């Protein structure tokens, strides 16, 4: 059997964390796969942090990031960068992950070259095209292009089926972020030590649909919380997007109980998650990691596509209105029974074997194409 050429294209921190286990898995099977790693570098420093941690060396680096880049900048530069590369490499399969604009533009670039597409973390939906923005439309467009859909959960699979995607093309694999967490935890002993009499609240914010008034409201809520609770310390690794960092620095920079820090290396961030009493976030990936670490999450968004944790009861949707955020958070700070009920480890987003499943499915599909058995499917 010939070796299959697979291009994996990604550009942001969360994509890198989630494709790292897949890259490792494919590279482990060198006799079966020729894996080509392409980074758009939609993120620069935050992407490089992850590449270093997982020891991933890109074969191609489009190096597209500029300060204050627009959505069009990312899409246009990715399309332009990938066109000659895909023409030259002509892979058997292109893989993208999630819903960032790098993933969407990579999928489109592959489609223009008629290259089969595999979508990792397929089928997440809010069914609101502006929440999250632009991710909801990015992922729906990727689904329209994809030939194989790696759905992280049964719910994601159901979403795709409801949209008319052929069931035989959907595989429930678990989310590869759980593989990534397990990989880090297996290599580093991460202590969950806490400072006595201090409750640590870990906060991250970056969603585009929150820029402006909602983000200011969230910051206002954070200030109210620390002022009311002398035993609360808040740590915020500030996202470098200027729309985010400017607002957070202006509104929270002088709060004594709030520490604003640079984005952390992934293992350090996981350590901080373990130490946290509570996590408040609008991040997608953190919503998936927290239940695995047994940490309750207050979701600082109007809508989430990760409803599994809400249903399991380890996350609560607070919205972006300051009064409501304070109310939800205070409930967890004041009522130990409510809090304890949310402190439960659960594996709703995966078991850590997603990458292995993806590798096996890919091999089967590519082999069937190679022999012509399944050519109608792709």
Rounded to an integer, what distance in angstroms lies between the CA atom of residue 287 and that of residue 20? 19
Give the x-and-dash track for 231-270 against ligand UDP (CB under 6 A).
------x-------------------------xx-x--x-
Choose the contact partner of 286 out of ligand UD1, ligand UDP, none; CB within 5 to 8 A by kind.
ligand UDP
Rounded to an integer, what distance in angstroms lies between the CA atom of residue 197 and that of residue 205? 26
For the CB of residue 13, give the shortest distance to ligand UD1 in the complex, in Å.
Answer: 5
- Say whether residue 17 binds ligand UD1 (CB under 6 A): no
Rounded to an integer, what distance in angstroms lies between the CA atom of residue 178 and that of residue 34? 25
Instruction: Using CB under 6 A, pick the residue from 206, 295, 301, 357 that binds ligand UDP.
Output: 206
Q: Which two tokens stand for residue 270?
A: 């996981």
DSSP conformation letters of 184-207? HHHHS-------TT-EEEEEE---
Helices (H), 153-305: 154-162, 176-187, 213-228, 242-252, 266-275, 284-293
The reply to whether 255 belongs to the active site is no
Choose the contact partner of 67 out of ligand UDP, ligand UD1, none; CB within 5 to 8 A by kind.
ligand UD1
Instruction: Using CB under 6 A, pick the residue from 119, 149, 155, 206 that binds ligand UD1.
Output: 206
Give the x-and-dash track for 7-36 against ligand UDP (CB under 6 A).
------xx--x-------------------
Q: Which two tokens stand for residue 5?
A: 């050429």
> Under 8 Å CB-to-CB from 297, ≥6 apart: which residues?
278, 279, 280, 281, 286, 287, 290, 291, 309, 314, 315, 316
Nearest partner of 207 among 216, 219, 215, judged by Cα: 215
Choose the contact partner of 210 out of ligand UD1, ligand UDP, none; CB within 5 to 8 A by kind.
none
For the CB of residue 43, give the shortest distance to ligand UD1 in the complex, in Å.
Answer: 4
Choose the contact partner of 264 out of ligand UDP, ligand UD1, none; CB within 5 to 8 A by kind.
ligand UDP
**Closer Cβ to ligand UD1, 56 or 326, answer by number:** 56
Distance of CA 154 to the CA centre of its chain: 18
**Closer Cβ to ligand UD1, 90 or 127, answer by number:** 127
- Say whether residue 284 binds ligand UDP (CB under 6 A): yes
Catalytic residues: 99, 121, 135, 206, 208, 239
């Amino acid at each position: 059997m010939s070796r299959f050429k697979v291009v994996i294209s990604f550009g942001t921190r969360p994509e890198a964390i989630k494709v790292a286990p897949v890259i490792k898995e494919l590279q482990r099977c060198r006799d079966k796969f020729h894996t080509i790693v392409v980074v758009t570098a939609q993120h620069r420093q935050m992407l490089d942090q992850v590449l270093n941690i997982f020891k991933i060396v890109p074969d191609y680096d489009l190096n597209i990031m500029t300060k204050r880049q627009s959505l069009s900048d990312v899409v246009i530069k990715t399309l332009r960068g990938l066109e000659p590369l895909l023409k030259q490499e002509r892979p058997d399969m292109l893989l993208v992950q999630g819903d960032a604009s790098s993933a969407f533009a990579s999928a489109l670039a592959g489609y223009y070259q008629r290259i089969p597409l595999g979508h990792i973390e397929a089928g997440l939906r809010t069914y609101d095209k502006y929440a999250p923005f632009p991710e909801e439309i990015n992922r729906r467009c990727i689904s329209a292009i994809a030939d194989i859909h790696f759905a992280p959960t049964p719910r994601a699979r159901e979403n795709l089926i409801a949209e008319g995607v052929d069931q035989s093309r959907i595989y429930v694999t678990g989310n590869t972020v759980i593989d990534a967490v397990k990989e880090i935890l297996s290599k580093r002993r991460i202590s969950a030590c806490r400072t006595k009499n201090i409750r640590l609240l870990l906060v991250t914010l970056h969603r585009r649909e929150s820029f402006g008034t909602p983000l200011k409201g969230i910051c206002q809520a954070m200030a109210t919380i620390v002022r009311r609770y002398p035993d609360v310390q808040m740590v915020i690794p500030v996202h470098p997007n200027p729309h985010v960092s400017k607002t957070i620095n202006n509104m929270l920079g002088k709060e004594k109980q709030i520490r604003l820090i640079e984005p952390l290396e992934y293992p350090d961030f996981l350590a901080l998650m373990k130490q946290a009493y509570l996590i408040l976030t609008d991040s997608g990936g953190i919503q998936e990691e927290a239940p695995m670490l047994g940490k309750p999450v207050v979701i600082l968004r109007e809508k989430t596509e990760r409803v599994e944790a809400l249903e399991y009861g380890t996350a609560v949707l607070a919205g972006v209105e300051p009064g409501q955020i304070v109310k939800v958070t205070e409930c967890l700070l004041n009522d130990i029974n409510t809090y304890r009920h949310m402190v439960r480890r659960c594996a709703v987003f995966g078991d850590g074997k997603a990458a292995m499943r993806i590798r096996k499915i890919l091999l089967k599909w590519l082999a069937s194409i190679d022999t012509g058995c399944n050519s109608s499917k792709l």
